[in-house]
Amino acid sequence: MARRWRCGSVTFTLDRTLVMGVLNVTPDSFSDGGMYEDPLDAIARGRQMVTQGADIVDIGGESTRPGAEEVPVAAEMARARPVAGGLARDLGVPVSIDTRHAEVAAGCLAVGACIINDVSGFRDQAMVEVAAASDAGVVVMHMLGEPRTMQAEPRYGDVVSEVKEYLARQAAVLEDAGVAPERIAIDPGIGFGKTLDHNLELLRRLPEFGELGYPVLVGVSRKSVIGAILDEPEPLRRVQGSIAAAAWCALNGADIVRVHDVRDTVNALRVLRAIEG
Ligand code: HH2
C-alpha cells in the first residue's frame, strides 16, 4: 500500500520527498529573523515559496534556536496567526504552524492551518488535546530539554535508539488520544540538544527512523551542524551545504525536508529524481 500523510483535507502520497518551506515571522530566528516581521512581507514570501515548488509552508512565531527564551503566547499568536490566516485562504498547499503552544496551534488551525509542527514533541497534554480535536497532520520532533539549555552538554547512550524511543512513545500518546496514525510524522530534531557527532550519527542512520512506520521529516537547513562542517559562522552562507544535506536525507528515507532555500532544494531533488528514474 502507498504510504501517505494526511493533513486535514490534503493527503500526501509519499512517492517523492516533499519540501516544507520555512517562514519565520520572528525578530530573532537564527537565519531569517527580522526578514518577515511585516505580515504582508511574510505572506508574499509564503506565496513565493509555493511558486518555487514548496509542498508545505511552515510558519514559526517563536525562535527555538539554542539559548532562545520562551516567547509569551500572545506575542507568538500575534505574529503567526495573521500570516497563517492570510496564506491558508488560497495558497494551494497546506500551511503548517511551528509552535510548542496549544493556544497558538489552535488559533492557527482555526484560520486554516492544517499541520501542527511541535518541536517539543507533544509533551504538553494541552497540545495533544488540540491535535486530537482536529484533523490536522502533526509533526512529532525530538528535543532534549528546552531551547534555553538544550546545548549544555547533551548526552546519550545510543542517540539513534534514544531518539527513536522518544518518538515512538510520543506518537503512541497521540494515537491513544485519537490521532489517526496516518496523520503523524516524526522528526529526529537535528540541532535540538545534540552535539555535532550526535547530529551526524542521526543523519548517517536516518533510514532507521523509517522502521517506526511514520513519515520522516528532517530539518538541517542552514543549521550549526552545516556551519561546523564548513567552518562558516554565517547561516546565509550555508546554502550549498544545506542542499547537500537535504539530498542525503532524500536518498536515505526522508519523506519531507524542512528548508529555507526552497528553489535550490527543489531543483536539487528534481535532479535526484531524474537520475533515480
Ligand atoms: N528546526 C527549527 C524549527 N522548527 N521543526 C521541525 N519539525 N524540525 C526542525 O528541524 C526544526 C523545526 C529551527 O530552525 P529555524 O526555524 O530556521 O530557526 P528558529 O528556531 O531560530 O526560528
- Convert the pLDDT of each residue in 26-41 to its tens digit: 999 999 899 999 999 9
Predicted confidence at residue 150, as pLDDT, reads 83
Which of 258, 263, 270, 273 is catalytic? The answer is: 258
> What are the CA-CA distances from residue 12 to residues 18, 46, 161, 175, 253 (Å)?
9, 19, 28, 19, 16
Residue/partner pairs of 70-77 with CB below 8 Å, 24 or more apart: 70/100, 70/146, 70/147, 70/148, 71/26, 73/101, 73/103, 73/104, 76/101, 76/104, 77/103, 77/104, 77/107
Which pLDDT score is estimated for 151? 87
What pLDDT does residue 169 have?
A: 98
Q: Which residues sit with their C-beta closer than 6 Å to ligand 1?
A: 22, 24, 26, 29-31, 60, 63-65, 98, 117, 119, 139, 141, 187, 189-190, 217, 219, 258
Residue 176 CA to ligand 1 centre (angstroms): 27
User: Mean pLDDT across the stretch 173-184?
Assistant: 98
pLDDT band at 247 (very low <50, low <70, confident <90, very high): very high
The mean predicted confidence, pLDDT, of the chain is: 96
Measured in Å, residue 237 CA sits from the centre of ligand 1 at 17
* Helices of type H across 121-215: 125-132, 159-176, 196-204
| Rounded Cα gap, residues 112 and 59, in angstroms | 12
Catalytic residue among 65, 79, 81, 223: 223
Active-site residue flag, 164:
no
Contact between residue 190 and residue 202 where contact means Cβ atoms under 8 Å apart:
yes
Cα three-residue angle 157-257-82, rounded to 5 degrees: 115
- Mean pLDDT across the stretch 214-225? 98
Identify which of 58, 143, 194, 258 to mutate to test ligand 1's pocket (most ligand atoms within 8 A of the CB). 258
* CA atoms of 118 and 241, how far apart (whole Å): 25
> If you measure from the C-alpha of residue 180 to the centroid of ligand 1, how many angstroms do you get, rounded to a whole number?
25
Catalytic residue status for 194: no
Q: How many Cα atoms within 13 Å fall on the side-chain side of residue 5?
A: 27
* Tens of pLDDT, residues 147-171: 888 888 899 999 999 999 999 999 9
pLDDT confidence band for 1 (50 / 70 / 90)? low
Report the pLDDT value the prediction gives residue 152, as an integer from 0 to 100. 86
Mean pLDDT of 54-67: 96
Best substitution site from 18, 30, 184 to test ligand 1's pocket, by max atoms within 8 Å of Cβ?
Answer: 30
Distance 219 CA to ligand 1 centre (A): 7
Residue among 46, 36, 53, 27 at smallest CA distance from 85: 46
Give the residue from 64, 63, 57 showing the smallest Cα distance to 19: 57
**Pocket residue to mutate for ligand 1, from 30, 56, 98, most atoms within 8 A of Cβ:** 98
Name the residue with cell 539559548: 67
Q: Give the tens place of pLDDT for each residue, 72-99.
A: 999 999 999 999 999 999 999 999 999 9
pLDDT tens, position by position, 135-149: 999 999 999 988 888
